Amino acid sequence: MVVLDADVLVPILSCDLLLCAFDHDLYQPVVTPTILAEVERTLHEDFAHLNPEALARRAAQVAQALALHTHADAPVTEAVAGVNPKDRHVAAVALATKADFVASNDRRLRRQINQLGLRTRAVTGDELMVGLHTSQPDTLRPLIDAMVAKRVLRPVSRAELLGQLAGLFPAFVAAVGLDG
């Protein structure tokens, strides 16, 4: 199980890659209502120049895709006291669900979770994808093909998609060696 922090679900391409990997049964995601609310709030704050209705639809699509993997917010206990207050909810649900990983691009949160001594390891989205490639190498080419197939706007080719993914997931794209 992988707790997905809001910051890996806000960039559209990152979210699409992680949700597509989930659709291909490469891992089991975990989110909470608080994480999903943070996704929606961040979309509206960071992309205020975009249509707010479109942003709300995007947040609703993410929530719908993860509906069966949305867990109740876990109680914040002393076990996660070493995590900054704004992110304790992420560590708390990781502890409550016995998640293997927390995927977050927040360096401080990853460091704090990794210092707790839990079985859960905090990694970047890129590190998560590299790990999935290492453990299930034959599944990633179809995943990329599925992402290309569902695109109606650019990027539409495998090379274009991989070029854009390389900006967010450089180690994953390099490790997979998908050359378009």
- Whether residue 125 contacts residue 92, with contact meaning beta carbons closer than 8 Å, is answered with no
pLDDT score for 164: 85
pLDDT digits (tens, 9 = 90+) for 90-102: 999 999 999 999 9
> If you average pLDDT over residues 120-139, what whole number do you get?
93
Token pair recorded at residue 86: 């704004």
Q: What is the mean pLDDT of residues 129-139?
A: 89
Task: Say if residue 68's pLDDT is above 70.
Answer: yes
Q: What is the mean pLDDT of residues 33-50?
A: 95
Tens of pLDDT along 14-27?
999 999 999 999 99
Query: Domain map of the chain by residue range?
Result: 2-125
CATH number of 2-125: 3.40.50.1010
Angstrom distance (rounded) from CA 164 to CA 161: 5
pTM of the model: 0.91
